[in-house]
């Protein structure tokens, strides 16, 4: 572990974690004049630093001994929810990418070798998001971030907390025997729009929702935009199995227009490059594989709805979901302008 401190008390604190000393040396040379740097060669040392310092941004390699980068970032998500998490790795394997979405909830997934300009831009955005959250009503902001980001990905982990509704946990653990729950009136944003033509996906979402909140089905992009405009659901479940490039681009454009919209991606296939693109351009909240389990879907939807409420209640947190720019899908120029009114109605 190594600390490189500057004298200015408000200098952002950045933690780099990599088991290769040469990488840490490069980070020192690149960033020591701008930030207070903390360097760690393993996950345990990194977590000790996080416990002892108010770290703004952590940048971790994935393939390290003892703890992987995803495991480190997942732990940081609980220990220091305000810390913005970036994975910088030369090993973009499928499990690492999926874990960085579902467990680490990373801000960016960057691959080595990463251009200095791209790395600087990502860290600058992450620093702004972290420090703005800390500066704006810190006592009120800390709890919503912690509540939103402490939601786990598995029913077993969820059972140890009271973040998720106990009946939803029960349904997730034993989806074949769902409890009967009376329908309740949903508040604005408490809805799901499902963009899929797969009957099994739609059925799984309906079963997971169990009439607790409205579910809207869209079979094309125009219907997605129309549903968002008219009903203002806060969560999008989008199936990228077919025509995935167009759907991925739509997902990214929706996040640009509606950063409070929380997206769950469903797919029959895993492709590392596609998932990385969706992290950096769409800030997707969860990635679920087909066949879609109603239990896993219930847990993910409940977590996504909670995350959406947190973003609506604390607009400063929206900066943590800034995405890289992407082109509009062909033939839909201007379509997404209709969504500007949705943010005003949410607010």
**Total domains in the fold of the chain:** 2
Full domain range(s) for residue 151: 143-346
Average pLDDT over residues 248-262: 89
Q: What is the pLDDT of residues 20-42, one digit of tens each?
A: 999 999 999 999 999 999 999 99
CA separation for the pair 101, 148 (Å, rounded): 14
Confidence of residue 264 (pLDDT cuts 50, 70, 90): very high
Residues 205 and 300 in one domain: yes
| Residue at which a domain ends, from 135, 163, 195 | 135
Residues 42 and 79 in one domain: yes
Confidence of residue 247 (pLDDT cuts 50, 70, 90): confident
Residues 104 and 40 in one domain: yes
Average pLDDT over residues 192-219: 93
Residues 131 and 152 in one domain: no
Is the per-residue pLDDT at 158 higher than 60?
no
Confidence of residue 331 (pLDDT cuts 50, 70, 90): low
CA separation for the pair 269, 99 (Å, rounded): 15
| Residue at which a domain ends, from 135, 153, 184 | 135
Domain harbouring 82, CATH code: 3.40.50.2300
What confidence score (pLDDT) does residue 162 get? Answer: 33
User: What is the three-state SS of the chain?
Assistant: CEEECCCCCCCCEEEEECCCHHHHHHHHHHHCCCCEEEEECCHHHHHHHHHHCCCCEEEECCCCCCCCHHHHHHHHHHHCCCCEEEEEECCCCHHHHHHHHHCCCCCEEEECCCCHHHHHHHHHHHHHHHHHHHHCCHHHHHHHHHHHHCCCCCHHHHCCCCCCCHHHHHHHHCCCCCCCCCCCCCCCCCCEEEECCCHHHHHHHHHHHCCCCCEEEECCHHHHHHHHHHHCCCEEEEECCCCHHHHHHHHHHHHHHCCCCEEEEEECCCCHHHHHHHHHHHCCCEEEECCCCHHHHHHHHHHHHHHHHHHHHCHHHHHHHCCCCCCCCCCCCCHHHHHHHHHHHHC
What confidence score (pLDDT) does residue 216 get? Answer: 96
Is the per-residue pLDDT at 182 higher than 90?
no
What confidence score (pLDDT) does residue 243 get? Answer: 82
| Residue at which a domain ends, from 135, 161, 189 | 135
What confidence score (pLDDT) does residue 22 get? Answer: 93
Residues 168 and 215 in one domain: yes
Average pLDDT over residues 283-308: 93
Confidence of residue 314 (pLDDT cuts 50, 70, 90): confident
Percent of the chain with pLDDT over 90: 52
Residues 127 and 148 in one domain: no
Residues 192 and 118 in one domain: no
What confidence score (pLDDT) does residue 178 get? Answer: 40
* pTM attached to this predicted model: 0.82
Q: What is the pLDDT of residues 61-106, one digit of tens each?
A: 998 988 999 999 999 999 998 899 999 988 778 988 999 999 989 9
Residues 209 and 295 in one domain: yes
| Neighbouring residues of 81: CB distance < 8 A, sequence distance ≥ 6 | 142, 145, 146, 148, 149, 150
Residues 190 and 336 in one domain: yes
Confidence of residue 4 (pLDDT cuts 50, 70, 90): low
For the chain, give the mean pLDDT. Answer: 81
Residues 329 and 200 in one domain: yes
CA separation for the pair 206, 214 (Å, rounded): 9
| Residue 169 or residue 323, greater confidence | 323
User: Helix 221-231 and helix 244-257: axis angle, to 10°?
Assistant: 20
Residues 147 and 290 in one domain: yes
Residues 184 and 270 in one domain: yes
Average pLDDT over residues 289-315: 91
Average pLDDT over residues 316-326: 75
């Amino acid at each position: 572990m190594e600390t490189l401190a500057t004298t200015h008390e408000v200098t952002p604190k950045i933690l780099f974690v990599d088991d290769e000393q040469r990488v840490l040396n490069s980070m020192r040379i690149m960033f020591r004049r701008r930030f207070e740097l903390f360097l760690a060669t393993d996950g345990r040392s990194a977590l000790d630093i996080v416990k002892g310092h108010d770290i703004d941004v952590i940048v971790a390699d994935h393939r390290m001994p003892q703890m992987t980068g995803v495991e480190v970032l997942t732990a940081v998500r609980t220990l220091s929810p305000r810390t913005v998490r970036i994975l910088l790795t030369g090993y973009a394997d499928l499990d690492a990418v999926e874990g960085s979405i579902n467990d680490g909830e990373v801000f960016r997934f960057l691959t080595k070798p990463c251009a200095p300009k791209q790395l600087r831009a990502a860290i600058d955005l992450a620093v702004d998001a972290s420090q703005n959250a800390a500066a704006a009503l810190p006592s009120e902001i800390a709890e919503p971030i912690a509540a939103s980001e402490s939601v786990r990905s598995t029913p077993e982990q969820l059972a140890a907390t009271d973040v998720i509704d106990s009946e939803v946990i029960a349904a997730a653990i034993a989806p074949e025997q769902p409890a009967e729950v009376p329908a309740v009136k949903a508040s604005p944003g408490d809805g799901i729009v499902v963009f899929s033509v797969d009957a099994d996906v739609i059925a799984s979402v309906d079963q997971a929702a169990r009439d607790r909140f409205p579910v809207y089905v869209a079979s094309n992009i125009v219907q997605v935009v129309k549903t968002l405009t008219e009903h203002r659901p806060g969560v999008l479940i989008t199936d990228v199995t077919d025509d995935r490039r167009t759907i991925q681009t739509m997902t990214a454009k929706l996040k640009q227009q509606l950063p409070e919209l929380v997206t769950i991606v469903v797919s029959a296939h895993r492709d590392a490059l596609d998932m990385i693109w969706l992290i950096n351009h769409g800030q997707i909240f969860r990635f679920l594989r087909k066949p879609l389990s109603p239990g896993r879907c219930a847990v993910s939807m409940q977590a996504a709805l909670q995350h959406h409420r947190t973003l609506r209640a604390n607009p400063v947190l929206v900066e943590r979901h800034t995405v890289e720019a992407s082109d509009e899908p062909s033939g839909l120029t201007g379509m997404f302008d209709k969504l500007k009114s949705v943010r005003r109605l949410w607010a």
